[in-house]
Chain A
């Protein structure tokens, strides 16, 4: 069941993304509403796929690239569903839903099946570590989406362009608040994930070296979070600066992931 349900989730995410794009082009609230319904369907199918994975392989889909990407996509999907039902932030799905579709597609490409990797311990601490980290990354993705939309809306308002973006995108203040909340929720989760990961590794596996790609990536992500929140302090264009920091930070995290993965692959190192 994992395969068909995962495929269905991907199709529904893609359809919802398309509808959101159409709703932007046509200024139709109905299409946006329909997209939310489709996103709900996608999340349900996705949950079903991951439950089927657990039932079939007898483990949570947290180990290996495909399964963990799928879980991240699910959290992004849940996040987009959340923003769609909270106040006037629904249009943020315009970025989040395609992101979820993209990550699901990447998971499909990598293969949603156990990696065969034998970890020293796969108990509750490991599950907690990965889950907390995923929630943190999902928070960063929401902050990225809100930040990107903030920058676009800011530019449109400055340039006095009152087209589809002006009408469809949420107000600057709403996007700023969403971005801040996403970071404020995500940072504690990521911090806990790092602490739990370090403790788990030290207790059951082997102490992780500072040069380990996982450590580098985890710490870098944490620094990005902290920086994105830190730039909010002080005067000047605080909202704009924060939005820029979220977008750039997210780009740095993704780029770092790809680089570290490329770098660790030839050496046969283990990295998500």
Chain B
């Protein structure tokens, strides 16, 4: 059963296009059923802000990859040809390699970002709940593929430094605060300016355990709105000085054209300086905080350039880990593919054995009349002899065929064997193996 992935990502399409390809949770099940075409195929649909991808394991005679492309294209009201410029298709080993890269964060917009692993897990879990007329849309092939992908993602993250360090301005802010305070649990933050950047940074800090947020904004209603959303309190921008003694972290992101927090104002708010370290993150342009504030004792002041420097350093270090990550990935793709390719030979091996068994039984029956004088015990010995002979004859071809499948020469060996033993002409009434039986047998 060939594997394939059809999709669009940040590498092939701009955000305006990607957002049109995005599937909501309610749209997943119909899309998955459509992608398998109601046949014995398998599908998982991954839809994030950076990619929409359909992973497929389709029977040879089933729904085609081109039809899956058409389903994705229809999402943006295009034909498959019309959407082709944004789409990519990876088949078989390349499809496996692609998914492993995705879960490892190697294909992410921010190298090594960890969220993608969770997003893939969610997509996989969603697909596992969907079943069509011919059964669940996730079967043995995609089950094994996704489980392997999660393991590879975990391995890459634990064995390399690909996930270490801050990779965004807001996570750099968190990293800085943690270098001062250790755990941020229960710390208090003051947010100056209720813009998007402040909110993103506050969200990151809240994720690390910052519990109380005080929001100060020129527009008080906006401050109150943000404070309510994050369970904090709102103050007027002119009054933020009163909140300073009670906070550990200050995030500044107003659109004021001049510094909002000056040295003089800090000294007025905190006579004698802060008793505990005060971390000020100024992500506004122009800057909200007078540089001299950073010279105050116990004050740690960082601006957008400092945060960017941390991000750049950390991305450089992540890039240095790429060869190690690629090494792990190559080995894992190889291992998965060896297993998966060996599945293709299972029906042939079964047909070969059935063919041999039929010949053996026919020959025994034909010889039966000449062996009528034999005792029951002798007949059993002859039976055992023929069975053993057949097993010995078929052992080497079976092993070689599995090896050939694993090292990429499977198709040629398979065709030769089927031709030599006329395996493509099965006796009438042989419906062939079911998909799941094949998988089980291959695993055994």
Q: Does A27 contact B (CB under 8 A)?
A: yes
Q: Does B24 contact A (CB under 8 A)?
A: no
Q: Does A88 contact B (CB under 8 A)?
A: yes
Interface string of A235-246 (1 = CB under 8 A from B): 111111000000
Chain A 120-147 residues near chain B, CB threshold 8 A: none
Given A88-B182, A157-B179, A162-B313, A238 and B300 contact (CB-CB distance below 8 Å) = no
Cβ contact within 8 Å between A160 and B277 = no
Given A160-B306, A162-B309, A171 and B182 contact (CB-CB distance below 8 Å) = yes
Q: Within the assembled complex, what's the spacing in Å between the Cα atoms of A235 and B300?
A: 17
Interface string of A22-51 (1 = CB under 8 A from B): 000001010000000000000000000000
Closest-CB distance, B257 to chain A (whole angstroms): 25
Q: Does B143 contact A (CB under 8 A)?
A: no
- Interface size range on B against A: 20 to 34
Segment with Cβ contacts to A, from B235-243, B268-276, B346-354:
B268-276
Q: Within the assembled complex, what's the spacing in Å between the Cα atoms of A121 and B180?
A: 51
| A171 nearest CB neighbor, chain B only | B182
Q: Does A203 contact B (CB under 8 A)?
A: no
Q: Which residues of B contact A173 (CB under 8 A)?
A: 180-183, 277
Q: Which residues of A contact B297 (CB under 8 A)?
A: 236-237, 240
Q: Within the assembled complex, what's the spacing in Å between the Cα atoms of A170 and B178?
A: 9
Q: Does B317 contact A (CB under 8 A)?
A: yes
- CB < 8 Å neighbour of A171 from B181, B275, B310: B181
Q: Does B230 contact A (CB under 8 A)?
A: no
Q: Within the assembled complex, what's the spacing in Å between the Cα atoms of A227 and B218?
A: 47
Cβ contact within 8 Å between A172 and B272 = no
Q: Within the assembled complex, what's the spacing in Å between the Cα atoms of A174 and B185?
A: 13
| A159 nearest CB neighbor, chain B only | B294
Q: Does A166 contact B (CB under 8 A)?
A: yes
Q: Which residues of A contact B313 (CB under 8 A)?
A: 162
Closest-CB distance, B107 to chain A (whole angstroms): 25
Q: Within the assembled complex, what's the spacing in Å between the Cα atoms of A170 and B317?
A: 19
Q: Which residues of B contact A162 (CB under 8 A)?
A: 306, 309-310, 313
Of the listed residues A88, A170, A236, A240, the one surrounded by the most CB atoms of chain B closer than 10 A to its CB is A236
Q: Does A80 contact B (CB under 8 A)?
A: no
- CB < 8 Å neighbour of A157 from B180, B272, B317: B180
Given A27-B317, A162-B313, A237 and B273 contact (CB-CB distance below 8 Å) = yes
Interface string of A48-79 (1 = CB under 8 A from B): 00000000000000000000000000000000
Q: Which residues of B contact A221 (CB under 8 A)?
A: none
Cβ contact within 8 Å between A171 and B179 = yes
Q: Which residues of A contact B302 (CB under 8 A)?
A: 160
Closest-CB distance, B319 to chain A (whole angstroms): 14
Chain A 200-237 residues near chain B, CB threshold 8 A: 235-237
Chain B 142-196 residues near chain A, CB threshold 8 A: 161, 165, 176, 178-183
Closest-CB distance, B43 to chain A (whole angstroms): 39
Q: Does B298 contact A (CB under 8 A)?
A: yes
Q: Which residues of A contact B298 (CB under 8 A)?
A: 236-237, 240
Q: Which residues of B contact A174 (CB under 8 A)?
A: 182
Q: Which residues of A contact B294 (CB under 8 A)?
A: 158
| B312 nearest CB neighbor, chain A only | A162
Q: Within the assembled complex, what's the spacing in Å between the Cα atoms of A238 and B275?
A: 7
| A160 nearest CB neighbor, chain B only | B306
Q: Which residues of B contact A170 (CB under 8 A)?
A: 182
Cβ contact within 8 Å between A172 and B273 = no
Q: Which residues of A contact B306 (CB under 8 A)?
A: 160, 162
Q: Does A153 contact B (CB under 8 A)?
A: yes
Q: Within the assembled complex, what's the spacing in Å between the Cα atoms of A166 and B176?
A: 9
Closest-CB distance, B180 to chain A (whole angstroms): 5
Closest-CB distance, A163 to chain B (whole angstroms): 8
Interface string of A152-181 (1 = CB under 8 A from B): 010001101010001100111110010000
Q: Which residues of A contact B183 (CB under 8 A)?
A: 173
Closest-CB distance, A59 to chain B (whole angstroms): 44
Of the listed residues B181, B277, B317, the one surrounded by the most CB atoms of chain A closer than 10 A to its CB is B277
- CB < 8 Å neighbour of B275 from A153, A172, A236: A236
Cβ contact within 8 Å between B272 and A166 = no
- CB < 8 Å neighbour of B181 from A88, A172, A240: A172
Closest-CB distance, A175 to chain B (whole angstroms): 9
Closest-CB distance, B15 to chain A (whole angstroms): 30
Closest-CB distance, A225 to chain B (whole angstroms): 23
Q: Within the assembled complex, what's the spacing in Å between the Cα atoms of A162 and B165?
A: 11
Closest-CB distance, B83 to chain A (whole angstroms): 43
Closest-CB distance, B29 to chain A (whole angstroms): 43
The interface of chain B, by Cβ under 8 A from chain A, is 161, 165, 176, 178-183, 272-273, 275-277, 294, 297-298, 300, 302, 306, 309-310, 313, 317
22 A-B residue pairs with Cβ-Cβ distance under 8 Å, sorted by A, are A27-B161, A29-B161, A88-B182, A153-B179, A157-B176, A157-B179, A157-B300, A158-B294, A162-B306, A162-B313, A167-B165, A170-B182, A172-B179, A177-B182, A235-B272, A235-B275, A236-B272, A236-B273, A236-B275, A236-B298, A237-B273, A240-B298
Q: A171-B178, A172-B180 are in contact. List 19 more A-B contacts (CB 8 A).
A: A27-B161, A88-B182, A157-B176, A157-B180, A158-B294, A167-B165, A171-B180, A171-B181, A171-B182, A172-B179, A172-B181, A172-B182, A173-B180, A174-B182, A177-B182, A235-B275, A236-B297, A238-B275, A240-B298
The 6 lowest CB-CB distance pairs between A and B, nearest first, are A173-B182, A171-B182, A174-B182, A235-B275, A173-B181, A237-B298
